[in-house]
């Protein structure tokens, strides 16, 4: 019965992918277009006293998060404008892009916007103002203190990497890989990639309640310390479901792929 369900899912996915593959290719082709271009960067920083949550939202470009040695949150945005008619136009657009930093209760939030149009989606503003041929790629690099343990990280097209942090919350990429390395899970965590792989190398899981990872088109790789107590519920394409407890069981890792494999590898973190 399970095999039949997966075969049906496969047929539906093939029909869907026939349309969405072209969309993905078109998106990536636009991102890689050149024309006249300009580059620049901006940096925002604040003291993280009283803060526990980081919110980063980005349209096109990678997001990289690492743990620093002080109590500050420092975020750098490397901005590239591509496909402009002239060099002057590219520089004009670059000067209009601003990195927004907001602080609300326990949350520090970061996103890019157009100067004077902060409430409007940046990609919509760019298209409405300059046309669809322009591309805006923003790579966001954040350094955070250990006190930040909750995340709301949303990426449209690009990879997400988080290293050596305590982690919970929501991490999502529409098109891109997600890599969490050396992380200690706490509370609940949801990890989703529409098209891209997910790789999790954990150093601790004992404070976690649950981890839910879903890859629409892509593989999932999980690495947990050998002596850790945890449970897995795995649903992979064209494979039988697997439920298993390790060292008596513990926090549940639910791993699902639409088209892709799920595997567990040896944890070599020290």
Query: How would DSSP label each residue in 135-181?
Result: EEEEEEEEEE-TT--EEEEEEEES-EEEES-EEEEEEEEEES-EEEE
Q: How far apart are CA 266 and CA 244, in angstroms?
A: 16
Residue 87 belongs to a domain: yes
Q: Single out the residue in 148, 178, 200 at which a domain terminates.
A: 148
Least Cα distance to 185 among 120, 253, 129, 102 occurs for 253
Q: What DSSP character marks residue 117?
A: B
Q: Which residues pair with 258 in a beta bridge?
A: none
| Domain co-membership, 160 together with 120 | no
Q: How far apart are CA 106 and CA 50, in angstroms?
A: 6
Q: Which helix (H) or strand (E) holds 11?
A: helix 2-32
3-class DSSP state of 7: helix
Q: Single out the residue in 111, 132, 148 at which a domain terminates.
A: 148
Q: How far apart are CA 164 and CA 162, in angstroms?
A: 7
| Domain co-membership, 71 together with 128 | yes
Residue 141 belongs to a domain: yes
| Domain co-membership, 139 together with 160 | no
Task: Give the per-residue pLDDT at 205.
Answer: 98
Question: Is the CB of residue 263 less than 8 Å from the CB of residue 255?
Answer: no
Residue 25 belongs to a domain: no
| Domain co-membership, 125 together with 180 | no
| Domain co-membership, 268 together with 159 | yes
Exposed, middle or buried, 163 (CB in 10 Å: 0-12/13-18/19+)? middle
pLDDT at 7 over 80: no
Q: Which residues pair with 157 in a beta bridge?
A: 60, 175
User: In this structure, are strands 166-175 and 150-157 parallel, antiparallel, or unpaired?
Assistant: parallel
Q: How many CA atoms lie within 13 A of 30 on its CB side?
A: 18
| Domain co-membership, 99 together with 173 | no
Q: How far apart are CA 156 and CA 237, in angstroms?
A: 24
| Domain co-membership, 55 together with 140 | yes
Q: How many CA atoms lie within 13 A of 214 on its CB side?
A: 10
Give the least confident one: 28-37, 41-50, 135-144. 28-37
The whole-model pTM stands at 0.87
Q: How many residues are present in the chain? A: 270
Give the least confident one: 19-33, 148-162, 207-221. 19-33
Residue 53 belongs to a domain: yes
Least Cα distance to 211 among 265, 154, 261, 170 occurs for 170
pLDDT at 171 over 50: yes
Domain, as residue range, for 265: 151-270
| Domain co-membership, 134 together with 109 | yes
Question: Is the CB of residue 145 less than 8 Å from the CB of residue 164?
Answer: no
| Domain co-membership, 40 together with 133 | yes
Read off the pLDDT band of 34 (50, 70, 90). low
| Domain co-membership, 142 together with 94 | yes
132-170, pLDDT tens digit by residue?
889 999 999 999 999 999 999 999 999 999 999 999 999
Q: Single out the residue in 118, 148, 178 at which a domain terminates.
A: 148
| Domain co-membership, 181 together with 228 | yes
Indicate the number of domains in the chain: 2
| Domain co-membership, 130 together with 233 | no
The CA radius of gyration of the chain, in Å to the nearest whole number, is: 20
pLDDT at 4 over 50: no
Q: Which helix (H) or strand (E) holds 58?
A: strand 53-60
3-class DSSP state of 261: coil
């Amino acid at each position: 019965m399970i095999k039949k369900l997966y075969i049906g899912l496969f047929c539906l996915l093939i029909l869907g992918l026939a349309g969405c593959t072209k969309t993905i290719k078109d998106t990536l082709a636009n991102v890689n277009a050149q024309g006249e271009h300009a580059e620049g960067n901006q940096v925002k920083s604040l003291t993280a006293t009283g803060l526990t949550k980081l919110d980063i939202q980005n349209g096109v470009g990678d997001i990289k998060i690492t743990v620093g040695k002080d109590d500050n949150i420092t975020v750098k945005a490397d901005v590239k404008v591509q496909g402009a008619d002239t060099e002057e136009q590219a520089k004009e657009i670059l000067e209009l892009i601003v990195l927004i930093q907001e602080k609300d209760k326990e949350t520090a939030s970061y996103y890019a916007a157009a100067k004077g149009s902060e409430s409007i989606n940046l990609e919509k503003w760019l298209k409405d103002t300059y046309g669809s041929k322009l591309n805006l790629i923003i790579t966001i690099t954040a350094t955070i203190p250990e006190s930040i343990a909750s995340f709301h990280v949303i990426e449209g097209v690009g990879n997400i990497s988080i290293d050596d942090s305590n982690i919970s919350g929501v991490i999502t990429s529409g098109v891109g890989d997600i890599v969490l390395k050396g992380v200690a899970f706490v509370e609940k965590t949801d990890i989703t990639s529409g098209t891209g792989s997910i790789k999790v190398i954990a150093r601790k899981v004992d404070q976690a309640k649950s981890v839910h990872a879903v890859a629409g088109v892509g593989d999932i790789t999980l690495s947990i310390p050998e002596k850790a107590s945890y449970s897995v519920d795995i649903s992979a394409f064209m494979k039988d479901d697997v439920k298993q407890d390790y060292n008596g069981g513990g926090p549940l890792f639910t791993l699902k792929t639409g088209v892709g494999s799920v595997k567990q590898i040896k944890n070599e973190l020290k």
